[in-house]
Every structure is written in C-alpha cells, then in structure tokens.
Amino acid sequence: MKFPDLNLALLSALLLIFLGSPAADAADVLYQICGTTGNYTANSTYDLNLQTLLTNLTTSATNSSSNFGFAKSTVGSVPNQIFGLVLCRGDVNSSNCSSCLSQATQDIQNLCPYYKEATIYYDFCLLRFSNQNFLSSTDNTNQVYMWNTQNVTGSKTLYSNYVRYLMNTTADYAAFNRSKKFATGQLNLSQAFPETYGLVQCTPDMSTSDCASCLNSLIDEMLKRFSGRQGARILGVRCNIRYEIYSFYSSVSLLSLTPPVENAPAPAPAMTPPVMNPGPQGMERTIYFTCASITS
C-alpha cells in the first residue's frame, strides 16, 4: 500500500527534520501507519498476545548471532493470532538497535492505540504487527516517501543517472553479496555535483532475487518521483532505500565508487604481424569494467 500524494505533500513539509538536517534525532518517529483490520480491547487475549509478541521480537532481534537486528514471530491462534516483524538498520550497534526497538514497542501502542495492525518507522529500526499473516509474503507494504525539496545545481538528468548508478550498484551488492541484505555506497563525483551517499536494505530472510526485485522497484519509483533532488528515501517493511549529499549512516561506506566513463574513446587496435593468407574478418568486442573499492 502506498500513501496518496496528499500525505506525501505533508511529509515533504517535514523536510528539514528528516532529510535536510543530518542532526535529526534517530529516536524520532519518521512515520506511523495505523491499520484498518480492526481493534482490540485492553486486557483482552489479543492484547496479551501483543505484549508477548513485542517482547519476543525485541529479545530475538538483539540476541541473534546469525540475523542480528532482525526477527519475526507469531503468537496465539485464530481469532487472536498476531504476526510481527522488526528490523534494525544494518549499520547500527547493539545498544542503538535495542534502544530503538524498545522505543518502538512503546510508541506504536501510544500512536495506534488498540489497533490490531500497525507499522512504525525510525532512522534506526522499524516494527510492524498485524492480525493478518504478512510474514508469508515479500510484498513491500506500507511504503512511505520522503524527499529533499532542494534540487542539485546542474543537469537533473545527469545527476539522476549518477544516482541510479550508485543505487543499482549498492543494491546488487546487498542482494547478491551480503547475508544481511544491507549495503552502503559512496559516489565520488566531480566538482559539478556533490559526493552522494546511498543505503539499501532488505529483510535478511528474503531470497537474492526477491531482494533485488524489491530494491530495483524502489529505485525506479524514487527516480521517477524525485529526479534531481538532493536526497530522497522510500521506507517499506520488506526493503528500503535512501540517498543524500551527506553521509547519514554510522560506518564507512561498504562501496566507494567513481562514475562510469561516458563517451570513452575506442581503444587503439592491437598490433599484429602481417599474414600471407588472412582468414575471414572476425567480430571485435570491447568490454569496459567499472571498478569499485570495497571496504570490509
């Protein structure tokens, strides 16, 4: 489900808090979505199951050695069965992850009181629960769009091409090379444009192909909506992406990239000794490689 453009316009008014200022508090709620699948009452079976679920999710996510920062769980039986998922951003430490999830379990019940379904987003984590089994699907539900209202100076088309290269390369690295399905990238541009930083993440239980498809869909959508912007992000339960003209994540970029060379001259033909009876002329293929340095 995507928000209507009216809600997106309201989100853009919060630009200076969420995108324009690197100093935004990571504990601030970015957005919450209260569901439409019904309500429960205090101290009911559903309420008790929800408290158990939230505790289980936080404990599992912060104590897991294989999938640290991620957990999904189911508690109870129909009609009081409840499904939940939490995900911390891939570069946050144990303390920040635990703190964010603890805050989320409190805020989501205050902001969406007695809703059987709710989603909440922060810079460092997200939490979703529902009485519908969304865990069986990789559909990237409850997407939120946020962007910087300022454009870069220069060609919007050229800069958007650079952003696409950054995000596509970072997305491929996350989907195909990282068990956490998380990656960051830095694109070192010329003086015409500022250095640009990107972050992508999927839930680690997604397959390589599902993660790549989810991220590529968001990249296409982001560049269609926010071409030439100084920053933008799309939040989703299953995958999310973001780019900015400043570093907004906690660690050194996993990828350090330079733009692909455009309009490069063809290489000089190789010198070969003459032959008396040349054979049929063959096809010549030139392959260009763009190298990226990877920081472990």
133 dihedral zone (left: phi>0; alpha: psi -120 to 50; beta): beta
Strands 239-244 and 255-257: unpaired
Higher per-residue confidence, 282 vs 102: 102
Residues 132 and 152 in one domain: no
Tell me the pLDDT tens digit for each residue of 14-27: 333 333 333 346 67
CA quadruple 159, 162, 166, 169: dihedral positive or negative? positive
Quote the pLDDT of residue 25.
Answer: 62
Rg of the chain on CA atoms, in Å: 23
Residues 201 and 125 in one domain: no
Residues 154 and 259 in one domain: yes
Task: Take residue 264 and report the two structure tokens written for it.
Answer: 């490069």
Tell me the pLDDT tens digit for each residue of 106-137: 999 999 999 999 999 999 999 999 999 999 99
Residue 279 resides in a domain: no
Indicate if the pLDDT at residue 285 is higher than 50: no
Higher per-residue confidence, 259 vs 103: 103
Residue 98 resides in a domain: yes
Label residues 68-93 b or e (16+ Cβ within 10 Å = b). Answer: bbbbbbebbeeebbbbbbbbbbbbbe
Instruction: List all residues 6 or more positions away from 40 whose beta carbon is below 8 Å from its beta carbon.
Output: 46, 47, 50, 114, 116
- How many Å apart are CA 146 and CA 233, to the nearest integer? 5
Residue 292, SS3 per DSSP: coil
Q: How many domains does the chain have?
A: 2
What is the DSSP track for 222-241? HHHHSTTBS-EEEE-SSEEE
Quote the pLDDT of residue 177.
Answer: 80
Q: Are residues 147 and 15 in contact, defined by beta-carbon separation less than 8 angstroms?
A: yes
Residues 176 and 209 in one domain: yes
Residues 166 and 201 in one domain: yes
Residues 157 and 130 in one domain: no
Residue 131 resides in a domain: yes
Tell me the pLDDT tens digit for each residue of 178-226: 889 999 999 999 778 999 999 999 999 999 999 999 999 999 999 999 9
Residue 19 resides in a domain: no
Provide the mean pLDDT of the chain. Answer: 83
Residue 164 resides in a domain: yes
Q: What residues make up the domain containing 49?
A: 35-136
Residue 106, SS3 per DSSP: helix
Which candidate, 164, 154, 214, 208, places its Cα nearest to that of 185? Answer: 164
Task: Take residue 89 and report the two structure tokens written for it.
Answer: 């951003």
Label residues 194-226 b or e (16+ Cβ within 10 Å = b). Answer: eebbbbbbbbbbbeeebbbbbbbebbebbbeeb
Which among 136, 165, 189 is the end of a domain? 136
Residues 60 and 96 in one domain: yes
Which among 108, 136, 164 is the end of a domain? 136
Indicate if the pLDDT at residue 146 is higher than 60: yes
Residues 58 and 155 in one domain: no
- How many Å apart are CA 190 and CA 159, to the nearest integer? 11
Residues 153 and 238 in one domain: yes
Residue 236 resides in a domain: yes
Instruction: List all residues 6 or more positions away from 292 whose beta carbon is below 8 Å from its beta carbon.
Output: 169, 185, 255, 256, 257
Q: Residue 131's domain is classified under what CATH number?
A: 3.30.430.20
- How many Å apart are CA 149 and CA 9, to the nearest integer? 10
Please state the three-class secondary structure of 153-169 as a single string.
Answer: CCCHHHHHHHHHHHHHH
